[in-house]
Each structure stands twice: as C-alpha cells, then as structure tokens.
Amino acid sequence: MSSNFERPLATVDVVMFTAIARRLHVLLVQRPGGAGEPYPERWALPGGFVDVSQDASLVACAKRKLLAKAGVSSPYLEQLGTWGDGKRDPRGWCITTAYYALVPTSEASLRGEPDGAGALVPTRWVALQEALKERLAFDHREILQAAIARLRGKAEYTSLPAFLLPEPFTLPQLQQAYEIVLERPLDKSAFRKRMLDAQFLKEDGEVPVGAGARTAQAYRLRSRREPVVFPRMFRSAE
C-alpha cells in the first residue's frame, strides 16, 4: 500500500523576531554537543521534531516551541515555508516547516528551558546582523534569510511591523518599528496619513513621551490576528 513508503523525518522551526534597542533581533538556541548530534554546539533556530502524540497540528507544534523558548503565547505567527530534501539533515531525509513570529518588545523575556536531561539550553536574542554572521546549523541561515525577506517584503505594503509593539503604542513608535524593519527612514507626514487612512488603529488614550515634550495619541490594533494590506507600496522600495 502507498502508506508503506519510508517516512521522512518531520520537524518544525520558528524564526522569532523582536525589536531591541532599535534593531531587529532573532532568537537562537545552541545545539547540544553530545556524540551523534548533528551540528554540535552550533547556534540554530528553535525547533524540533513534530511529536505526533503531543501536537495536534503543525501550528500547535510551533506555538508550543514559542511558549517554551520565548514565553509568549499568542504573538503574530505565520507559516513561512517548508524545506525538505535528503541532504539538509545528516540523520536522513528530513522535512521542516518553518514559521515566523513577531514578539512584542516588552514580552521578549527569555526562558532558558531545561532540556530532556535537565540541563539548561542556551538561548539568546541575537541582532540580525550578528545572526547572519553565525554559521547556523542545518539550512537555518537560508530559512532565516527567507523570514527576513518575508518580513521586509510585507512591511512595504502591510501593517505587519505593528505586531512588534506592545499595546498601546503611538504613531512615532509605529514609525520606528517600520524603520527598524525596513532599515531606512520614512517621511513622517506620509507615514501618518497612510496608517490612519488604513483604518486598522483605534485610539486608546494619550501617553507622555518624556523629556519636556508633547504627549502623543496612543493606539491599539483593531485586530491582532491579521495585518491590513495597503493599496500601495512605500515608494522608495521600487
């Protein structure tokens, strides 16, 4: 019967983004160093085998890892893609479905989780620039680059960067989130018009903004599920 094919290994990896000190960071974990372990002690994206007896679905598996590693339970989470071939894992033909998540800055608390043997798995937020210099395990560099491309691409025409902010937030903070993702300055007036016209924000009081300056209008997202799509890209992206 067809279901008697040899089954490939199945894993889930998660690219978790957060903004720290005005720079994008990504969560990396260090692989164990034991004998027989692939890529011992290399840094890698958090992930692991799908546990058929525990995970109801692929996305449930991703959420489990998100909670275990970053302590967040419902950030923005989207499937990024699936990589599968006979060579990406020395243990055999292996499929990984990758997700990416945007973790609001304040919630980005680290959790050094004990692994199966009770040892602490080293875990840290790494600036994108540094992470791309690392020799990551498996094809995780390629997956990370795909995640960055997806995030940057969607930032050009959706409200996606808003999910990097804890609520409520101000328009200047939102603009800063965009600038962190896109790595270029945006015009203040055009930015504000665009955001307010898109109808995805609702007002939520005012907040002081420090050091003898005017208070700012605070906003919340109308929906934390999906970003809204703008009718046009930012111009300098062309």
Partner DNA sequence: ATAATAGTGTCTTTTAGACAATATGTA
Partner DNA sequence: TACATATTGTCTAAAAGACACTATTAT
Q: Which residues bind DNA (CB under 7 A)?
A: 170-172, 186-194, 197, 206, 208-217, 230-232, 234-236, 238
Collapse the DSSP code of 70 into the 3-class scheme (helix H, G, I; strand E, B; otherwise coil) and give the result: helix
Q: In angstroms, give the least distance from the CB of 16 to DNA.
A: 27
Taking the mean position of all CA atoms in its chain, how far away is CA 14? Answer: 7
**Residues facing 10 on adjacent strands:** 95
Q: Give how far Cα 73 sits from Cα of 64, 80, 192, Å.
A: 8, 19, 30
Instruction: Say which entry of its own copies, DNA, none residue 211 contacts (CB below 5 to 8 A, set by partner kind).
Output: DNA
Q: Which residues contact 176 (CB under 8 A, 6 or more apart)?
A: 22
Q: In angstroms, give the least distance from the CB of 195 to its own copies.
A: 16
- Residue choice 81, 112, 166, 205 for contact with its own copies (CB under 8 A): 81
Instruction: Say which entry of DNA, its own copies, none residue 9 contacts (CB below 5 to 8 A, set by partner kind).
Output: its own copies
Q: What does 170-231 look like in DSSP terms, one character per residue?
A: EHHHHHHHHHHHHTS---HHHHHHHHHHTT-EEEEEEE--STT---EEEEEES-SS-PPBPS
Q: Per this entry, what is the length of the chain?
A: 238
Give the residue with the Cβ less far from its own copies, 106 or 223. 223
Q: Does the footprint of its own copies cover residue 233 (CB under 8 A)?
A: yes
| Piece of 19-27, 79-87, 122-130, 207-215 that binds its own copies (CB under 8 A) | 79-87
Point out which residues bind its own copies (CB under 8 A). 1-3, 5-10, 36, 48-53, 56-58, 60, 79, 81-86, 91-93, 95, 97, 157, 229, 231-233, 235, 237-238
